């Protein structure tokens, strides 16, 4: 945890993003299987190594999410304060549609990814089990945010967990409203670990 700074250096909190439905044709990315990613230790936050969040719309849950952030395989004690710049952190999210959900369509970040390290994907075994024959997940970039979209198959339904991941060279701040889940024609924002905004070039150069 960073030490407290003087008030003038403390940035104003960012407003919670409003849900907006994802466009059909953002820039496509090539996802990897989570099974091929090897983790080291996990970052310990105020809630421990895992953060639990919910996607709720008008008081009704759409999905539950359990998240963690891991260091590279060789790092057993994952303390960002002790690691060099450029360390790759893997953000992992286990997302489970809530009871009553019949057609979950999209999981995505609701904000632009800071210092994206070009690693992104999901657990293919879980996806195959949830979606059935003919189902797939397309991964894309939408103005710097990441989008996982379910295509075909039997649909992603209540109780079917799929794990998603992405990588950044910036460690997370405390959990923030930075993720979106879309199902049955509705969209909701949820909280999870997320990196801070990258400093503008001018601000970085002046320090």
106 within a domain of the structure (yes/no) = yes
173 within a domain of the structure (yes/no) = yes
13 within a domain of the structure (yes/no) = no
- DSSP bridge partners of 89: 168
* Number of separate domains in the chain: 1
54 within a domain of the structure (yes/no) = yes
**Whole domain around residue 105: which residue ranges?**
26-197
Distance CA 11, CA 2 (A): 14
Q: What's this model's pTM, rounded to 2 decimal places?
A: 0.85
Q: Are 77 and 176 in contact (CB under 8 A)?
A: no
182 within a domain of the structure (yes/no) = yes
Mean pLDDT of the chain: 90
Identify the band that residue 4 occupies on the pLDDT scale cut at 50, 70 and 90: very low
Identify the band that residue 198 occupies on the pLDDT scale cut at 50, 70 and 90: confident
CATH number at residue 184: 2.60.40
185 within a domain of the structure (yes/no) = yes
pLDDT at position 91 is 99
Phi and psi at residue 120, in whole multiples of 5°? -160, 150
With a cut of 60, say whether residue 2 has pLDDT above it: no
1 within a domain of the structure (yes/no) = no
Q: Are 80 and 64 in contact (CB under 8 A)?
A: no
Tens of pLDDT, residues 143-172: 999 999 999 999 999 999 999 999 999 999
């Amino acid at each position: 945890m960073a030490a407290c700074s003087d008030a003038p250096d403390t940035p104003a909190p960012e407003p919670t993003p409003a849900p907006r439905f994802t466009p059909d044709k953002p820039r496509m990315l090539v996802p990897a299987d989570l099974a091929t990613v090897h983790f080291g230790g996990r970052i310990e936050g105020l809630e421990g190594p895992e953060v639990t969040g919910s996607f709720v719309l008008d008081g009704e849950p759409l999905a539950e999410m359990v998240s963690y952030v891991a260091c590279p395989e060789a790092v057993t004690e994952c303390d960002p304060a002790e690691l060099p710049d450029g360390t790759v952190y893997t953000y992992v999210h286990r997302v489970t549609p809530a009871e009553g959900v019949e057609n979950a369509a999209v999981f995505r970040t609701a904000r632009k990814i800071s210092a994206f390290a070009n690693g992104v994907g999901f657990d293919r075994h879980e996806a195959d089990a949830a979606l059935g024959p003919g189902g797939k997940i397309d991964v894309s970039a939408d103005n710097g945010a990441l989008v996982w979209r379910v295509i075909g198959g039997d649909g992603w339904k209540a109780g079917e967990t799929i794990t998603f991941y992405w990588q950044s060279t910036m460690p997370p701040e405390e959990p923030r409203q930075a993720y979106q889940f879309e199902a049955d024609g509705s969209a909701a924002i949820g909280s999870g670990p997320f990196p801070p905004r990258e400093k503008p070039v001018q601000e970085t150069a002046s320090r």
